[in-house]
Structure 1
Amino acid sequence: MNHIEATITKIEQYDSVSAVFFSALGLELSMVSLELNPALKVGVDVKLGVKATNISLSKKIHDDISISNQLEGVVQTIDNGTILSSVKVQIKDIFLESIINRKSVIKLDLKDGDKIVALIKASDLAIVEIL
């Protein structure tokens, strides 16, 4: 599980659905939740979590895609297996691991040092701890 320390900047609620917005090292992130802990308020520091298998990679930012969390970074290492690859990406002072199909690494022609965009759906981001 990848972790990102962040601060809640905004919460929008409608019925039982909440959209929560965060700031982490100057990056803006968002999450959608069906159940929200009442202790969560604007200004509260949290630890966010996202599974490595829920982080997709692209070589560019997309304006015409529904994925709201698009984080620019640099490939640090690639560990290729037979079917899957582990790609470690540095985004500012945050390090994330993405596990993707090895064919995708080849298709994207990924190499250490490449600029990359980590794509995380708002429904794949979760608050794992209130700090």
Structure 2
Amino acid sequence: MNTVNGIISEIQSHEGISLVKVKSHDATFSSIVLDTPETSGYLKIGTSVKIIFKETEVIISTDLHSNISIQNQLLCRIESVKKGVLLSEINLIFEQQIIKSIITSKACDQLDLKKNDNVMALIKTNEVSLSAHD
């Protein structure tokens, strides 16, 4: 599981659902939360949270300027590529932190991913969870 620290910077709520923006260094993550500031104590601007997402939910793009609907777009550098028969594990460096992505080895070959390549890591908003710091 990938975990990144951040601070809540914006909250929009409607009918029991919140779209939460979380600032982490120079990036802003978006997350959909099935709570509101009225129903969950940690949903406050300025609160430190953990941003959590699965390795299998990290999409990799070699197009650094793609015009797509995915809000969470992180410019990263590939630290390592570990190719398996079916799946490959890509370690990405984002803000001096490792983010892992697991993609098919076929996709890894098609993208010709190599150490030190710059790539865009993409994570759909509904795949990002938030947790209050302990």
TM bucket by the smaller chain? Answer: over 0.9
Q: What SS is found at the alignment partner of 1:53?
A: helix
Q: Is the 8 A contact 1:75 1:114 kept in 2?
A: yes
Deviations for 1:23-81, whole angstroms, at most 9, x for unmatched residues? 10121111112235232200000111100000000012355311100100100001111
Q: TM-score, normalised by structure 2?
A: 0.92
The answer for the alignment partner of 1:94 in structure 2 is 97
CA distance in 1, matches of 2:82, 2:42: 40
Question: What's the offset of the Cα at 1:92?
Answer: 1.7
CA distance in 2, matches of 1:94, 1:129: 19
In percent, how many aligned pairs have the same letter? 30
The answer for the alignment partner of 2:62 in structure 1 is 59
Question: What's the offset of the Cα at 1:8?
Answer: 0.2
Alignment partner for residue 123 of structure 2, among 120, 123, 130? 120
Q: What SS is found at the alignment partner of 1:4?
A: strand
The answer for the alignment partner of 1:12 in structure 2 is 12
The answer for the alignment partner of 2:21 in structure 1 is 21
Amino acid at match of 2:118: K
Alignment partner for residue 72 of structure 1, among 72, 75, 80? 75
Unaligned runs of 5+ in 2: none
Deviations for 1:91-111, whole angstroms, at most 9, x for unmatched residues? 122210000000010000000
Q: CA RMSD in A?
A: 1.3
Deviations for 1:9-30, whole angstroms, at most 9, x for unmatched residues? 0000011111000110121111
CA distance in 1, matches of 2:64, 2:73: 7
CA distance in 1, matches of 2:15, 2:51: 23
Q: TM-score, normalised by structure 1?
A: 0.94
CA distance in 2, matches of 1:114, 1:63: 16
Q: Is the 8 A contact 1:17 1:33 kept in 2?
A: yes
The answer for the alignment partner of 2:43 in structure 1 is 40
